[in-house]
């Protein structure tokens, strides 16, 4: 299959630090909490990054479960990351992004544990968001 180009156009909302991201027919408000200069009208960019990882894992568990013979009752991913705001604010010489991201994938399934483990391994190696977070060039156009 040829490459598929995904796209998101993001534009300042005209208020504070918030913006609107448009991807296809979907619009999402992006903002910052008040403590970081926003009005808290939507998730901030790093929360969306964490959500993208969790969402990708949930999508893939459900997409690949039939091929692995796994029945899914529920899937939950708890994702958190450590970030020192002093880095992106230029206050300290620390990394501006996450120093670590952790997730816990919980699959509720009546299927045999070995089948669920195989599914989980497949999902973790196939997740494009997880792979991207491992390091990919980000190029300004």
pLDDT tops 90 at residue 117: yes
Burial class from Cβ neighbours inside 10 Å (0-12, 13-18, 19+) for residue 113 reads exposed
Please tell me the distance from the alpha carbon of residue 88 to that of residue 92, in angstroms, as a whole number.
Answer: 9
Percent of the chain with pLDDT over 90: 81
The pTM of the whole model exceeds 0.75: yes
Q: Which of 16-30, 88-102, 108-122 has the lowest mean pLDDT?
A: 88-102
Residue 104: both structure tokens together: 């816990």
Residue percentage of the chain with pLDDT more than 70: 99
Is 109's pLDDT higher than 70?
A: yes
Distance in angstroms (rounded) separating the CA atoms of residues 53 and 129? 6
The per-residue pLDDT for 85 is 86
Q: How many CA atoms lie within 13 A of 126 on its CB side?
A: 15
- Cα separation, 114 vs 120, in Å, equals 10
Average pLDDT over residues 44-69: 97
- Is 116 exposed, middle or buried, given 0-12, 13-18 or 19+ CB atoms closer than 10 A? buried
Residue 29 three-state SS: strand
What pLDDT, in 10s, does the model give residues 67-106? 999 999 999 999 999 999 888 888 988 888 898 999 999 9
Q: Domain limits of the chain?
A: 1-43, 44-133
Cα–Cα dist 11/118, whole Å? 41
pLDDT at 94: 87
Mean pLDDT of the chain: 94
How do 19-23 and 9-12 pair as beta strands? antiparallel
Kindly state the tokens that stand for 28.
Answer: 């999402």
Q: Please, which pLDDT band fits residue 140 given cuts at 50, 70 and 90?
A: low
**H or E element that contains 115:** helix 113-126
Query: In this structure, which topology does domain 44-133 adopt according to CATH?
Result: GMP Synthetase; Chain A, domain 3 (3.30.300)
């Amino acid at each position: 299959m040829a490459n598929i180009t995904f796209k998101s156009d993001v534009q300042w909302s005209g208020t504070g630090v918030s913006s609107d991201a448009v991807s296809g027919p979907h619009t999402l408000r992006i903002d910052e909490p008040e403590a970081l200069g926003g009005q808290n009208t939507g998730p901030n960019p790093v929360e969306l990054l964490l959500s993208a990882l969790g969402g990708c894992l949930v999508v893939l568990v459900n997409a690949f479960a039939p091929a692995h013979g796994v029945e899914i009752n529920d899937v939950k991913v708890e994702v958190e990351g450590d970030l020192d705001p002093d880095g992106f604010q230029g206050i300290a010489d620390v990394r501006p992004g996450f120093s670590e991201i952790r997730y816990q994938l919980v699959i509720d399934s009546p299927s045999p544990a070995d089948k669920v483990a195989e599914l989980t391994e497949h999902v973790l190696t196939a997740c494009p968001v997880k792979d991207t977070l491992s390091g990919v060039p980000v190029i300004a156009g």
